Amino acid sequence: MTKQIEINVPEWFEMDELATLDTIISPTSENVGILVAGENLNYTRACCPTVRLYLLQMIDGKFEVTKELEAFPFRTRDEAVHFSEKLRSLNALDLVMLMNKEQPIFTA
């Protein structure tokens, strides 16, 4: 069963038309996590579809977006969504390669 969490979404998140794709709470600390957001997934802007990762921290009983960690641009919406679905299972090597703009090892 998935635990419901409360996130205080900042105003700029909605103004930038970001869509929440997933939230990942640390298995070792329930006070931190990652918000996985999609940008331009419907091709409403000139930029390419992008998955953005934001740090979540528990503040006064709610998760707050405290900073952007990384942004991953993709050629298509399907690639961006596929990445967001695989993110939880990425190993450290794949993630480091992606962060350095190298080809990821995962294929499925």
Is 106 within a domain? Answer: no
- Give the residue among 4, 80, 66 at the shortest CA–CA distance from 37: 80
Q: Is residue 79 part of a domain?
A: yes
What pLDDT does residue 60 have?
Answer: 92
What b-and-e string marks burial along 31-55, b requiring 16 or more CB atoms within 10 Å of the CB?
eebbbbbbbbbeeeeeeebbbbbbe
CA distance 21 to 69: 15
Q: Is residue 2 part of a domain?
A: no
Q: Does residue 24 fall inside a structural domain?
A: yes
What is the DSSP code (8-state) at residue 4? P
- Enumerate residue ranges in the chain where pLDDT < 50: 1, 108
Q: What is the pLDDT of residue 1?
A: 44
The domain in which residue 93 lies consists of: 7-99
- Whether 104 is covered by a domain: the verdict is no
Domain count, the chain: 1
Residue 108 lies in a domain: no
* 103 backbone dihedrals φ, ψ, rounded to 5°: -65, 130
Q: Within a domain: residue 1?
A: no
pLDDT of residue 108: 46
In whole angstroms, what is the distance from residue 12 CA to residue 67 CA?
12
Residue 21 lies in a domain: yes
